[in-house]
Amino acid sequence: MATKRSPTILGAALPDMPWEPKPDGCRTVVWRYSRNPVIPRSAFPTANSIFNSAVVPFKGEYRGVFRCDSTDRFMQLHVGESKDGFRWTINPERIRFISADKDPEVLRWEYGYDPRVCWVEDRYYVTWCNGYHGPTIGMAWTKDFKAFHKMENSLLPFNRNGVMFPRKVGGKYVMLNRPSDNGHTPFGDIFISQSPDLVHWGCHRHVMAPNGGWQSTKVGAGPIPIETREGWLMFYHGVLTSCNGFVYSFGAALLDLREPWKVLYRTSPYLMSPQELYECAGDVPNVVFPCAALTDAPTGRIAIYYGCADTVTGLCFCQVDEVIRFVKENSRLP
């Protein structure tokens, strides 16, 4: 009798997660939702674009924090809700943070973009690129997606792509991030920072650098890392500088479970590149930018929300075992 294999994903069941089976004849590991974009650019009257956003399960439904650039072209964060993960209602008013700290610097707001949302212990933590004398990593927490409690910025400017791990590692909270500059950064490596209390961050470790091809200019962490039997599965974006500007694609890497700054495998070929019209044409052409992943541990299904051309939100799907096999068979280090 064959021994039943335990699920690859070390997590919870999410049987009603948004899903579309792999199309017949599809030869790629990741496939797109047939009705993309799942969220249009103008879901409310003052929205210019809705993209690079974070989605999580919430009490049998779904909630998210969305980057919504306004029609006056300010970068803002808005709450969204959905019963099925496909059809979304976006609050037209941006998030107004609250804080028990009376220091006005805590609530200072210049802009916010590219959020992630991570359930850790007993609440959802939101990280985003926060304007504070340049881009840095802002943090807040919520339990109901109504009240958002602003925390201190976690890191000094300039930094982007702050992505929490869903549990402590080695007794510390852990966050991926990418030190940068004050502009449209033409460089970037992924680092890990660690904290005993979600306020004081240190013990910084280098994770990975660009290494050619579609990821030759910069790399940045995408959705919350997924804990698997093989390691932390990290989807990440990579950038190539072409004769017509930056091109954003995405791939995946496996990080050591105990020391996640150690890369076990990383993809040499991309998993997805901008190929559809809604990914190639928009405010910033040629961008696929993964920001959130939903998983169903028993079946190994993964649904990834990604930004398309910095304009709309797309949805794509994959199976964890296929992704891990692809990463291992097509790995190039460092």
Instruction: For 134-160, write each residue's pLDDT tens digit.
Output: 999 999 999 999 999 999 999 999 999
CB 29 within 8 A of CB 271: yes
55 has pLDDT over 70: yes
Q: Tell me: the pLDDT tens digits for 105-140?
A: 999 999 999 999 999 999 999 999 999 999 999 999
**What's the rounded Cα separation, in Å, for the pair 61 and 58?**
5
Percentage of the chain surpassing pLDDT 90? 97
Burial class (CB in 10 A: 0-12, 13-18, 19+), 25: exposed
Q: pTM for this one? A: 0.97
Band of the pLDDT at 265, cuts 50, 70, 90? very high
**Cα 291 to the center of its chain, rounded Å:** 2
Percentage of the chain surpassing pLDDT 70? 99
Q: Tell me: the pLDDT tens digits for 311-333?
A: 999 999 999 999 999 999 999 99
Q: Which pLDDT value is given to residue 3?
A: 58
Record the tokens describing residue 128, joined without a space: 């985003």
**Cα 170 to the center of its chain, rounded Å:** 23
Domains of the chain: 31-329 (2.115.10.20)
* Mean pLDDT for the stretch of residues 271-289: 98
